[in-house]
Amino acid sequence: MKDVPRFFLKSLSAWGQVRKAPGALGASLEAQLTKGVFFTLSAWENRDALYKYARTEPHKSIMIGLRSTMRDSTFTFWEVPVEQLPIDWKDAKRRIDDQARADAAGGGTAAH
């Protein structure tokens, strides 16, 4: 919980970056500050655009600096036709939960 204010402030920089990133179709953030839980949901033209964003400043340095805070994060990826955007949070959270369970069982590859 002590890292929540720092994480939140840093996430605002990354949020500004994602809104202007080439290939970003949209993004959403849900912060449950009292629980120290953050959810992000974004849509990209392709994975290359997402990975380029992740390797670009300020996102790159933010993630390196927050690595220990984010050690229990779950990442999941899926593809949908653009006509099905935006994805709703209920579906996204179900997919995150499914990925977290798979990772805990040793079957996942996307969690970091």
Flag whether 56 is in a domain: yes
Per-residue model confidence (pLDDT) at position 111: 41
Report which DSSP code applies to 73: -
DSSP state letters, 57-70: TTHHHHHHHTTTTT
Per-residue model confidence (pLDDT) at position 108: 54
Neighbours of 71 (CB within 10 A): 8
Q: Is the dihedral of CA 75, 90, 95, 92 positive or negative?
A: negative
Flag whether 99 is in a domain: yes
Q: Along the 112 residues of the chain, how does pLDDT read in single tens digits?
A: 677 788 778 878 888 899 899 999 999 988 888 888 888 899 999 999 999 999 999 999 988 888 887 888 888 999 999 999 999 999 999 999 999 999 999 865 544 3
Flag whether 80 is in a domain: yes
Question: What is the Cα–Cα distance from 32 to 35, expressed in whole angstroms?
Answer: 6
Can you give the residue range of the structural domain that contains 53?
4-104
Flag whether 110 is in a domain: no
